Amino acid sequence: MKDATPQTIYLKNYRVPDFLIDNTDLVFDLHKDYCRVTSALTLRRNPDSQNQTAALTLNGGSGLDLQRIERDGQALSQEQYVRTEDALTISQMPDNCVITTEVLIKPHLNTTMMGLYKSRTLYCTQCEAEGFRNITFYLDRPDVMSEFTSKLIADRQQYPVLLSNGNAIEQGTVDDGRHYVVWHDPFKKPAYLFALVAGDLSVVEDTFTTQSGRDIRLQIFVEQKDLNKCDHAMLSLKNAMDWDEQTYGREYDLDRFMIVAVDDFNMGAMENKGLNIFNTSAVLANPQTTTDAAFQRVEGIVAHEYFHNWSGNRVTCRDWFQLSLKEGFTVYRDAQFSADMNSSVVKRIEDVVYLRTYQFAEDAGPMSHPVQPDSYMEINNFYTLTVYEKGAEVVGMIHALLGDKKFRQGSDLYFSRHDGQAVTIEEFVGAMEEVSGTDLQQFRRWYKQSGTPVVEVQSTYNAEAKTYSLTFTQSCPNTPGQSHKKPFIIPIKLGLVGADGQDLPLNSKGDQSIVHPLSQATETLVFENISEPPVPSLLRGFSAPVKLNYAYTSDQLAHLMTHDSDGFNRWDAGQTLCFCVLQQLIENQIAGRELVMDKQLTEVFASLLSDHSLDPAMVNLMLQLPSEAQLHERADIIHVQAIHRARQFARKSIAQALQEQLLHTYQRLTETEDYAPVSQQIARRALRNTVLGYLMQIDNIGVDLAWQQFNSANNMTDKAAALTALVNCPAAQDKAQQALQAFEQQYAEETLAINLWLQIQATNAQPDGLQRIKALMETSAFSINNPNKVRSLIGAFCASNPINFHELDGSGYQFLQQQIIQLNDLNPQVAARLVTPLTRWKKLPEPNRRLMRDALQQIANQDGLVKDVREIVTKSL
Ligand code: PHE
Ligand code: ZN
């Protein structure tokens, strides 16, 4: 993994494998400080290979200590194979044979959380993308699909539960208190979907009857102490299974579906066939220890991993350049699911905020890449917002262009035609094209061109002719390795809102909303019989992942906010207004002018608070000022302090102007029902806590409320919101300290709650943030070895506490640089992800720009940099 000049892998160099593996028979003999892995691979030459005399090259990391190697039962001599740092090559291969290898590995020393490793007391694996090669020698590529049989042997007392993919077909005891279980997975799969787990786990069980009447055994395995936190995941799983049958006609295939929760995990969760492995943060939930947001995240991730059983496992990826084939589609599917389970407008707004804040920033930065990248050094660096979230938007646009019926037909064709295959994005688009007869040739550019397209819109109204025209001009900024982009197909959903607030008919059919597939660099749409100048409602539901600009007046925005029939655009009009106001404040702050709050925005907020007929979920979203991170994304130059101060000024001004109404709203929303993580309650809590956040801006008003809420809350959402409010309030620091202590004591045994506690402190915008982080790192609440804790403390500080991270002396950058270098040796993936905030150095003014660059350069100068970190640092410099 340590590599001075990492190799670049190119999509254009893809070749089919020279060999296929029909059967994979594995034995895992788990011992205290090693594991013996015996593998018997039934190999055959690939008839499609160009080279019918090729040697066999198996991937295998340097951690594999080779004990034995045989071909068809005959030991190979030293001359018959070559072992390099990352492979094993066997020459003179017959067309069919069985290669048996035996290796020793050291899971207890594996800190990378790839391959076989230990999380606290249990053994588990993570093989995507290329972790299997650290377990045994293999053709570790997704287009090699094999039938797996795995025998697990371990001490019965310490590891009573032994799990792998598929069905348990045999079990028994061996000597010395050891036992074994043999698992067989009847579905062919690539090695990245392999999993095993061994530990002392408790289980929550349920059943699901499929549409064809099969009973599936559902099991969630956790540590005993977490048995009370599985209900929500189980319910989410059953809802997801039902939904996938209803919506995509997809039924579960095996007789068992298992989820295992582990504390040490690099990502959210993993869709291993029949045996999903989850980060505890993505599966455990309980009102006392889990926030509403975390409840919803659990629901989404459980569904996501379950949906992969079809979009990912039954139909998998040919190579890692096709990653979005499974991830974009599956994120799209889980978003549809969450929208159906909760409020679809709310879900859409949340997703768009996320995309605009983080994916747009990625697409404008040095790591910008297409949804289908054409090269990479380290594939782990391409599990990105672009592949996942933009990839999902692209699938959503296909859906919008084809309509519900054709989209479903296309998905059915895709699944049936490619079941059991490893395919490319082209097969997915091809199936959609075939059923619909829609030409998606130009549309395919969404997969190949990086960068966020910009659409400028201008309007003219001709009173005499009663025509209204909209002229669209699209462009896309240059991105690394790509200039002169060709026009995209941009589905623009739009309507025209009349003076009375009603949608005007747009054509002779009377449609009030249409989807226009913009395809040229410039296009004009003319609407007839328009008897008054309307307000255009553009990009309804955020119908394409673009930046759309239209010069709205604030009156027009106010009109859309109250009348637009599209809920998303009602919210977005408010956001546009907020941006204009904040932009002005930021400019004045930079120029040293006095800040004056915009009256209109305050009035809009006042009317939102006074109209009790409005959906609290929408009111809450509309009261959110764009985050500092989103303002950073929108800025050409990031003036960290000015942005922070301007936004704080706006918050305070709004709070002062609307004090009465805010207080009234806070009181009105006091929950009377028992806690449940259901959308209506979630919305009321969210609005109430947003209001609390505003009230904290006024000296002496909010502190008592927050303190009271902290002490009386019967759920984690209200508790954590109150704690956040106190911690961030200069006038409440005594109480904040007391609350932090009380929280820490109350949840001492609850790892996830303690991680939240770390995160709340990490994002505290009060001065001296870095000192607090460093102090927390010395406590037992933190551990550099646990990715969740690293993300909660270091990650949150560097990515979500800009005012402290960007201290003018560069101390934040120095700190991050040191952490990355330390993690480089422990956990390359976590280290690489931490680099992101530094990669944005070009957008900062001096001296930050230079200091950030220096920090990156110092990382680059390190010896022994893993390629994960090297790739990002090199591309950023
Ligand atoms: N494939 C997982 C998902 O999206 C993510 C993952 C990638 C997990 C790599 C672990 C390692 O569901
Ligand atoms: Zn996924």
Residue 603: CB partners within 8 Å, gap ≥ 6?
none
pLDDT of the residue at 168: 98
Q: How far is the CA of 168 from the centre of ligand 2 (A)?
A: 26
- Tell me the per-residue pLDDT of 499-552, one tens digit each, with 9 for 90 and over: 999 999 999 999 999 999 999 999 999 999 999 999 999 999 999 999 999 999
Which residues have CB under 8 Å from 854's CB, separation 6+?
810, 813
Active site residue 778: no
Q: Residue holding tokens 């028979």?
A: 25
pLDDT at 671 over 90: no
| C-beta of residue 50 within 8 angstroms of C-beta of residue 44 | no
Q: Residue 370 C-alpha to ligand 2 middle, in angstroms?
A: 18
Write the CB contacts of 839 (distance below 8 Å, at least 6 apart in sequence): 365, 366, 367, 856, 872, 875, 876
Q: Looking at ligand 1, which residue's alpha carbon is closest to its atom 2?
A: 270
Angstrom distance (rounded) from CA 433 to CA 422: 19
**How far does the centroid of ligand 2 lie from the alpha carbon of residue 471, in Å?**
38
pLDDT, tens digit (0-9, with 9 covering 90-100), for 134-145: 999 999 999 999
Scanning 344-448, the segments in alpha helix (DSSP H) are 344-354, 360-363, 385, 391-418, 425-436, 445-448
Q: Give the SS3 label for residue 187.
A: strand
* pLDDT 10s digits, 811-864: 999 999 999 999 999 999 999 999 999 999 999 999 999 999 999 999 999 999
Which entry of 271, 305, 393, 628 is annotated as an active-site residue?
A: 305
pLDDT of amino acid 700? 81
C-alpha to C-alpha distance for 738 and 716, rounded to whole angstroms: 17
Closest CA to 435 of 400, 399, 411: 411
pLDDT band for position 699 (cuts 50, 70, 90): confident
| Distance of alpha carbon 451 from alpha carbon 147, whole angstroms | 40
Encode pLDDT of 281-317 as tens digits. 999 999 999 999 999 999 999 999 999 999 999 999 9
pLDDT attached to residue 576: 98
Nearest ligand to residue 334 Cα: 2
Phi-psi region of 444 (alpha: psi -120 to 50; beta: other; left: phi over 0): alpha
- Longest C-alpha distance within the chain, in Å? 95
Residues with CB under 6 A from ligand 1: 126, 128, 266-267, 269-271, 304-305, 327, 383
Note every long-range contact of 773-777, with CB atoms under 8 Å and residues 24 or more positions apart, other chains counting.
773/797, 773/815, 774/815
Mutate to test the pocket of ligand 1, among 130, 271, 325 (most ligand atoms within 8 A of CB): 271
Number of H helices, E strands in the chain: 29, 31
Q: How far is the CA of 382 from the centre of ligand 2 (A)?
A: 12
392 CA → ligand 2 middle, Å:
11
Strand pairing class (522-527; 467-475): antiparallel
Shortest-distance atom of ligand 1 to CA 331: 4
Closest protein CA for atom 3 of ligand 1: 270
Rounded distance from Cα 309 to ligand 1 centre (Å)? 13
CB-based contacts of 321: which residues, under 8 Å, 6+ apart? Answer: 11, 14, 372, 373, 374, 376
Spatial neighbors of 377 by CB under 8 A, at least 6 apart, are 6, 7, 8, 9, 867, 870, 871
Does residue 715 sit in helix, strand or coil? coil
β-sheet bridge partners, residue 184:
149, 167
Contacts of 183 (CB under 8 A, 6+ apart): 148, 149, 150, 151, 152, 163, 164, 165, 166, 167, 168, 169
| Cα 279 to middle of ligand 2, angstroms | 13
CA 397, 403, 406, 412 dihedral sign is positive
Nearest CA to ligand 1 atom 7: 128
DSSP line for 655-679: HHHTHHHHHHHHHHT---SPP---H
Q: Which atom of ligand 1 is nearest to the CA of 271?
A: 12
Ligand closest to Cα of 127 equals: 1
Q: What pLDDT does residue 273 have? A: 99
- Mean pLDDT over the full length of the chain: 97
Q: How many other C-beta atoms can be found within 10 angstroms of the C-beta atom of residue 164?
A: 29
Round the CA-based radius of gyration of the chain to a whole number and report it. Answer: 28
C-alpha of residue 182 to centroid of ligand 2, in Å = 28
Q: Cα of 625 to ligand 1 centre, how many Å?
A: 32
* Residue nearest atom 5 of ligand 1, based on CA coordinates: 270
Q: Is the peptide bond before 802 cis (omega within 30 degrees of 0)?
A: no
Please provide the size of the chain in residues: 877
As to burial, measured by CB atoms within 10 angstroms (0-12 exposed, 13-18 middle, 19+ buried), residue 106 is: middle
Of 126, 267, 385, the one to substitute when testing ligand 1's pocket (max ligand atoms within 8 A of C-beta) is: 267
Quickly count: other Cβ atoms within 10 Å of residue 588's Cβ. Answer: 16
Pocket test for ligand 1, best of 112, 119, 270 (most atoms within 8 A of CB): 270
Which amino acid would we find at residue 839?
T
pLDDT tens sequence across 189-232: 999 999 999 999 999 999 999 999 999 999 999 999 999 999 99
Q: pLDDT, tens digit, for every residue of 7-36?
A: 999 999 999 999 999 999 999 999 999 999
Mutate to test the pocket of ligand 1, among 383, 388, 788, 830 (most ligand atoms within 8 A of CB): 383
Residue 741 CA to residue 503 CA, distance in Å, equals: 55
Ligand 1 atom, smallest distance to 305 CA: 12
Q: Which residue lies with its CA nearest to atom 1 of ligand 1?
A: 270
> Which atom from ligand 1 is nearest to the alpha carbon of 383?
7
Instruction: Name every residue whose Cβ is closer than 8 Å to that of residue 94 and which is 6 or more positions away in sequence.
Output: none
pLDDT tens digits, residue range 307-352?
Answer: 999 999 999 999 999 999 999 999 999 999 999 999 999 999 999 9
Question: For the chain, first and last CA: distance in Å?
Answer: 21
| Distance between CA atoms of residues 631 and 398, nearest Å | 30
Ligand nearest to the CA of 326: 2
The C-alpha atoms of residue 190 and residue 306 are separated, in whole angstroms, by 17
Question: For residue 142, which ligand has an atom nearest its CA?
Answer: 1
Helices (H), ranges, 504-598: 554-563, 567-591
This prediction's pTM:
0.98
Cα gap 248→308, rounded to integer Å: 13
Ligand at shortest distance from the CA of 333 = 2
The DSSP element (H or E) to which 763 belongs, if any, is none
Indicate if the pLDDT at residue 2 is higher than 60. Answer: no
Contact 812, 804 (CB under 8 A): yes
Q: Is 147 exposed, middle or buried (0-12, 13-18, 19+ CB in 10 A)?
A: middle
* pLDDT value of position 4: 57
SS3 498: coil
Q: For residue 255, what are the contacts with CB-CB under 8 A and spacing of at least 6?
A: 167, 214, 215, 216, 217
**Ligand 1 atom at shortest distance from the alpha carbon of 265:** 10
- Report DSSP state, residue 50: S
Distance (Å, rounded) from C-alpha 164 to C-alpha 272?
9
How would residue 397 be classed by pLDDT, with cut points 50, 70 and 90?
very high
Is 375 in contact with 11 (CB distance < 8 Å)? Answer: yes
> Nearest bound ligand to CA 192?
1
Report CA torsion sign: 823, 826, 828, 830.
Answer: negative
φ, ψ dihedrals at 502, nearest 5°: -90, 150
> What distance in Å separates the CA atoms of residue 544 and residue 457, rounded to the nearest whole number?
15
Asked whether the predicted pLDDT for residue 440 surpasses 80, the reply is yes
Contact 495, 570 (CB under 8 A): no
Contact 547, 453 (CB under 8 A): yes
Residue 871 contacts residue 362 (beta carbons within 8 Å): no
Secondary structure E strands in 274-345: 275-279, 316-317
Whether the CA torsion 407, 436, 348, 533 is positive or negative: it is: negative
Instruction: Give residue 3's pLDDT.
Output: 54
Closest ligand 1 atom to the C-alpha of 266?
A: 10
pLDDT tens-digit map of 457-492:
999 999 999 999 999 999 999 999 999 999 999 999
Q: Look-up: residue for tokens 């008054």?
A: 532
Distance 305 CA to ligand 2 centre (A): 6
